[in-house]
Structure 1
Amino acid sequence: MKINVSFDLTPEEFRRVMGLPDVQQFQQEVFSQMMEKMKSGEEGYDAMSLYKPLFSESMNAMTQFQQLMFGMMAGKSEENSNE
């Protein structure tokens, strides 16, 4: 037996139903502070340093995905690699 249930909720409604905090104002304040620092050219502030960890993790994930795809194209699978 298969039962499907769907809910038509906005992200805001979903957040409230799940009991998650509303962090929209906090995010806006942090973004405003970042923009002020970027515009003023504050010494020692490098906006790209915020994104460096994301870039390296994204590249690792992409490399692993490529290796998975190449392995599948070569006819390898986890079942074959265990033998």
Structure 2
Amino acid sequence: MKITVDIDCTPDEARHFLGLPDVKPMQDAMMQEIQERMRANLQAMDPETMLKTWLPAGIQGMEQMQKMFWSQMASALGQEGRK
């Protein structure tokens, strides 16, 4: 036997019925705080400083990936030459 129950209610009604707390005010306050901190940090940094902060890790990662690729290619070619 299969029973299906459809409940038509809003999320607020379901939360109230289940006795769950309304966390929207806390989420709004946290998002406001995060936005203010991000805005303050972005205003403190000029574009050149931001690029210097972000790019070296990306460039270094690309260099490491390129070295790994070439070492794999060299080892594969070395194994083929031995056959």
Q: What TM-score does the superposition give when structure 2 sets the normalisation length?
A: 0.48
Q: What TM-score does the superposition give when structure 1 sets the normalisation length?
A: 0.48
